[in-house]
Structure 1
Amino acid sequence: MVYGEDKAKEFADRLNSICDRNEIPVRGRAGYLKERLPFTISLVGVRKWLIGESIPDTKKLADIATLLESTVEELISGNQGDSITPSVTPIKPDINTIPVKARLVPIISWVQAGDFCSSETQVLPYDCDMILCPEPSASDKTFALRVVGDSMTAPFGRTYPEGTIIFVDPDKEPSVGKRVVARTAKGQTFKQLAHNEFGELYLKPLNPAHHPIFETDIHICGVVIGSYNPE
């Protein structure tokens, strides 16, 4: 749908206001909408709606309104008239199902992880790619990383081969034995926090072919609270 710049900005204001009403956080808002809309749309496309660079096609407005418990009229003009979105028959929940508390978290690159570890506010752009973290205790600062290399590929027990997605929570207290993401003089790394007989902390790889990291200035960015290894 092609409109002038002012119209696109007005639509963005209305869309963000409705999202606020639905308590959809600003961080990750584009990813939240993208994952739940019943049609294919890129993350960039949704972001353009939110920042006022474009307006969705008319046929998409009804789906957006249904998702946000709004109306096409409200999206277009701001008036909360009678709903003209397709009627939806409520689905009764299965009483035998067990609800799982989960949250969407940003999945970032290792380069971004360096900025994330260095930032006091730890604010990320709200249009980062998002992934569902099923860990109920995850804080709102939790982020995800994709493992690179084989230093955490263990010969037995818990292992994290290359490509594994790990969920990292900066609010968790690091302790010996925990897997952590840390910043060292050589950059960011994923290792197990350990200590030697003198009580000195170091970073231990699970792969015995790799050397542990002994440094005086190791900064723990966050504790790994879970992982996902796709087939």
Structure 2
Amino acid sequence: MTTKLENVRLEFAARLNAALDLAGFPSGENGRQTALAKAMTALGHKVSQNGVRKWLIGESTPSIEKLPDLACIAQTTIDWLVTGVGISHKDNQLTNIVTMLQNLSVEQRKVIFEVGNAFALSTSPTTEKREMGEGQQVATSGKQIC
């Protein structure tokens, strides 16, 4: 009989593997653990291939400090990895659009917003035109988001 903690680990492993499948990671156990260990190491985490293997088979779970980067690599959310609730796979195209918008000036974002509104109005008769106000500005941190 499995304990509640074992079930949590196995469910996490199943979600992690599913997300990695969708993210295009190698499907073989050795290839996947090698690729994931390299990706985590490249982001500054000290992770062994054996440690990653344990995450992938449900023997252990990563520390909380590793979860944001692990979710990023797996192209999912922390919430979904940990609980199974929420979006299971991020839309990379949408993420790329948001990243590009972050790198634009406020004036450039206003132009993009106006073009988007014009396009929405031309394709959907029920869409109302909105003006870009202070609360609708895209963050300008310049950081790549995951």
Which stretches in structure 2 are left out of the alignment for 5+ residues? Answer: 101-146
CA distance in 2, matches of 1:77, 1:19: 16
Matched, 1:7 2:5: no
Equivalent position of 2:105 in the other structure: none
CA distance in 2, matches of 1:81, 1:61: 15
Amino acid at match of 1:9: L
CA distance in 1, matches of 2:68, 2:16: 13
Aligned residues with identical type, % of pairs:
36
Amino acid at match of 1:49: W
Report how many residues are paired.
86
- Assess if the C-alpha contact under 8 Å between 2:39 and 2:73 holds in 1: yes
Which stretches in structure 1 are left out of the alignment for 5+ residues? Answer: 92-231
CA distance in 1, matches of 2:87, 2:32: 25
Deviation at 1:90, TM superposition (A): 4.2
Amino acid at match of 2:77: T
Matched, 1:36 2:39: yes
Equivalent position of 1:22 in the other structure: 23
Deviation at 1:6, TM superposition (A): 1.0
Equivalent position of 2:71 in the other structure: 65
- Assess if the C-alpha contact under 8 Å between 2:19 and 2:76 holds in 1: yes
Equivalent position of 1:54 in the other structure: 60
Amino acid at match of 1:8: R
CA distance in 2, matches of 1:80, 1:25: 25
- Higher share in helix: 2
CA distance in 1, matches of 2:65, 2:74: 16
CA distance in 2, matches of 1:12, 1:36: 17
Equivalent position of 1:95 in the other structure: none
- Higher share in strand: 1
Larger radius of gyration: 1
- What is the TM-score of this pair, normalised by structure 2? 0.53
| Counterpart mapping for 1:54-203 below 5 A | 54-81=60-87, 90=99
Deviation at 1:80, TM superposition (A): 2.4
Deviation at 1:81, TM superposition (A): 4.5
- Assess if the C-alpha contact under 8 Å between 2:16 and 2:74 holds in 1: no
- Across the aligned residues of Structure 1 and Structure 2, the Cα RMSD in angstroms comes to 2.5
Higher relative contact order (CA 8 A, sep 6+): 2
